[in-house]
Amino acid sequence: MRKIIENIGKSGIRSSLFPLFFLFCLLPSQALGESYQYTDIHPAGWIDSRVMCISGLGEAVGFGTTDSGERGFLWSAGRITEILPPGADSARAVWINDSGEIAGTWVKDGVRHAFLLVGTTFLDPTPGWGSSEASYVGEDGAVGGTGEFGAFVSRDGAAEIFPGFSVVTAGNSSGELVGSGDNTARLYLPNQGYRDLTPPGTTFAVPRWINENGRVAVNSRQSGTDRGFVFSDPFFVSMTPPGWTSSYATAVNNLETVAGYGDSPEGMRSFLRSGGTYEILSFPGWETTEAAAVNDLGQVAGAGTTALGATHAFVASPPEAPAAQASGPSSSGGCTVAPRGAGSKAQGSVTGTLMTLVFPLLLLWGRNRRATPR
C-alpha cells in the first residue's frame, strides 16, 4: 500500500538572519585530549571496512569489501557478525536502532533492494517494488529511503511516499524527516509540509541527521569549500573548527553534541562540538579519521586510513563507556558522530566561554520558536 503525502508548502530561511548566523561563526575554543579509547573493528580478512551507525547500546553497523564482494556487518560486544541476505550478491548495513533492528540494502543481479533485519529474519520494507534502498530505521522500526516509486517511509511493509524528497535520509519520533529534494536539503514537518534547509551564502545542501529536538546536521558548499552546519530553527550554526579549511557535520545527538570531520592543519580529523568547545578526534597512529556516528553516551564510530593505507572501521569511547564493550540500556536511539581524543586541556577564549553558556540557551529558544513553513 502506498500513501501519498502531499506537498503542503516550502519556505527558505530569510536573508535577514545572516547577521545572526555570522554571530555563531565567532571563534570557539578547542580541546585536544587523549582520554578516548579506540578500537579497530575491521573484520578479519576483509579488504576494507567502515561504520555507518552506532546505537545507544554501543552496537555498530557498517559495510566493507571482501574477496567475495561487499558485505554488511554488525559489531556487538567485541564480536563481528557478517550481514548478507540469502541469495544476495552483496549488501550494506547502514543503520541500527536501540532494539537491534538493522536497515540496509542488498544487491542481486545489479538491482538494489532495501532490507530490515530483525533478529535473524530479513524483512522487505517495500514489497512489490522493483528496486529500493534503505537509509535509516527509526526506534519504531520504520524504514526510510528511496526506490522505484520515490522517497518513502515504510511501517510493517506499508510504504508512504513523500514527493517533496528524492530520498528520506533520517527521521525522529515526532515524525519530522530530513532528506534531499531539488538538489537541496529539506525538512518535513507533519501537518505543515516541507521547508528548504540551505545555509545563507551557500549553493546547495545535503542533510545527514535530525535529533529528537529537531536539530539538523547539514552540509553545504560555500565559495567552493565544503562547510558543515547545524540547523536550529531559525539559525544555521557553523561547524568548522578554528583553523580548519573544510568541515562536514555528520550528526547531532539528543544532548545537542555535534560530530563531524574535515581538513585540519594535521590532515583529515574528526571533531565533537559541545556548546562552544571542539574536541578533536584522531585514531592514534592512523593517517586520517572520519567520524560517522555518535550516541548519547559519547561513543563515536566511523572509519579512517591506517598507517599502512587501508580503510578500517573504528569505535572510540570515553572512559566511562569502554570501547571494547557494548553499553547497557540507556540514552540515544540510532546513530550520531564524534571527535579526536576527547580531552581536558582547552585553549580557552572569551568567545568560547560565552558560546558554551549561550549556545544551549539559544538552542532551547529555537526549539520553542519553530516557525511555520509558508
DSSP string, 214-280: --EEEEEEETTEEEEEEEETTEEEE---TT-S--EEEEE-TTS-EEEEEEETTEEEEEEEETTEEEE
Determine the pLDDT at residue 3.
39
> How much of the chain exceeds pLDDT 90, in percent?
69
| H or E, element range at 18 | helix 18-23
- Give the Cα separation of 182 and 199 in Å (integer): 15
Neighbours of 208 (CB within 10 A): 25
* Domain limits, the chain: 2-318+328-367
**C-beta separation of 71 from 64 below 8 A:** yes
178, pLDDT greater than 90: yes
| 3-class DSSP assignment, residue 364 | helix
| 3-class DSSP assignment, residue 356 | helix
- Output 342 or 239, whichever has higher pLDDT: 239
Strand order in the sheet with 143-147: 2-4, 158-161, 150-155, 143-147, 132-137
Determine the pLDDT at residue 276.
84
| 3-class DSSP assignment, residue 353 | helix
pLDDT band at 4 (very low <50, low <70, confident <90, very high): very low
Q: Please give the mean pLDDT across all residues of the chain.
A: 82
| 3-class DSSP assignment, residue 33 | coil
pLDDT band at 370 (very low <50, low <70, confident <90, very high): very low
Superfamily of domain 2-318+328-367: TolB, C-terminal domain (2.120.10.30)
